[in-house]
C-alpha cells in the first residue's frame, strides 16, 4: 500500500548467528532498528523514521524566533 509519503533508503542485514535483522536509514544518522523477521524490521524502521522526523517541543527564551529555511 503506497501512502504517498516520502521514500527513504534503508539497509537491511541478517545476523548470521541469531538470524535476526538489523536495519538503518543512512540519511538519518542514528535512525536504526531491528526485528526477528525482515517484515518486522521493516515495520520497526518505518516507526523509527516517523519518530526521528517528528519535531520535539521547544522551550524558547523570550524573544527567540522559530523560522524555516528551504535547502
Q: Is the pLDDT of residue 4 over 70?
A: no
Higher pLDDT, 1 or 66: 66
CA distance 15 to 36: 10
Calculate the alpha carbon distances from 15 to 12, 25, 36, 68 in Å. 10, 17, 10, 41
Percent share of the chain, pLDDT over 70: 94
Question: Mean per-residue pLDDT for 28-43?
Answer: 98
DSSP designation for 4? S
pLDDT surpassing 80 at residue 46: yes
Q: What is this structure's pTM?
A: 0.74
Mean predicted confidence (pLDDT) in 26-35: 98
Mean pLDDT of the chain: 92
Using alpha carbons, select from 26, 21, 28 the residue that is nearest to residue 43.
21
Q: Domain residues of the chain, as ranges?
A: 11-53
Amino acid at each position: 500500500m503506497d501512502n504517498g509519503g516520502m521514500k527513504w533508503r534503508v539497509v537491511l542485514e541478517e545476523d548470521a548467528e541469531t538470524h535476526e535483522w538489523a536495519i538503518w536509514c543512512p540519511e538519518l544518522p542514528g535512525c536504526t532498528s531491528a526485528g526477528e523477521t525482515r517484515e518486522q524490521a521493516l515495520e520497526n524502521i518505518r516507526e523509527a523514521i516517523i519518530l526521528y522526523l517528528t519535531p520535539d517541543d521547544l522551550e524558547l527564551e523570550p524573544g527567540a524566533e522559530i523560522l524555516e529555511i528551504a535547502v
